[in-house]
Amino acid sequence: MAKKKEHVALTKCYYCLESDKILLAIKYNSKGEPLKDLAPLHGCVVDMEPCSKCADWMKKGIILIGIDGSKSDPGWHIPPVSKTEGWMPTPHRTGHFVVITEEAIKRAFKGERELQFAMTNRFMFIEHEAMVLTGLIKEEKK
């Protein structure tokens, strides 16, 4: 017996990783089954469009997402030559999520490239150690 295809999926926001969009099947075969199984998309990030909460945060400042570069795949920040459209960077996240003002980001980043990225995209990945050193988060005791 073939596996039943799912009609619905609840996706996650790329930035905060909380529940985001509900996807519904719109095309069905003559038996009433969806043409595309939505089960693989359930609980996954499907795009970089912010959820409403993150969009509000982005209006107020810049989202900083903590990462651990040593646990991230090499080249996580470089799109493959074969797939640039729809590509999303996937570093190893530490679970830290901080929003800072534009003024704070301008003081923190002197590099033109990094500052331009933050101001345009309204988010940045930042190493966990940098978040601790700058006082954005407290070091976790093990």
pLDDT at 133 over 70: yes
Residue-wise pLDDT tens digits, 72-107: 988 888 888 776 677 888 899 999 999 999 999 998
Mean pLDDT calculated for residue range 17-21 = 95
Mean pLDDT calculated for residue range 31-60 = 91
pTM score, two decimals? 0.83
Structure tokens belonging to residue 23: 């996807």
pLDDT band at 1 (very low <50, low <70, confident <90, very high): low
Tell me what pLDDT residue 38 has: 87
Structure tokens belonging to residue 132: 């601790």
pLDDT at 141 over 80: no
Using a CB cutoff of 8 Å and minimum separation of 24, what contacts does 49-58 make? 49/14, 50/13, 50/14, 50/15, 51/13, 51/15, 51/16, 51/18, 51/20, 51/21, 53/13, 53/16, 53/18, 54/13, 54/15, 54/16, 57/99, 58/122, 58/123
- Is pLDDT larger for residue 129 or for residue 141? 129
Contacts of 76 (CB under 8 A, 6+ apart): 89, 90, 91, 92
Mean pLDDT calculated for residue range 23-45 = 87
Q: List 97's β-bridge partners, or say none.
A: 65
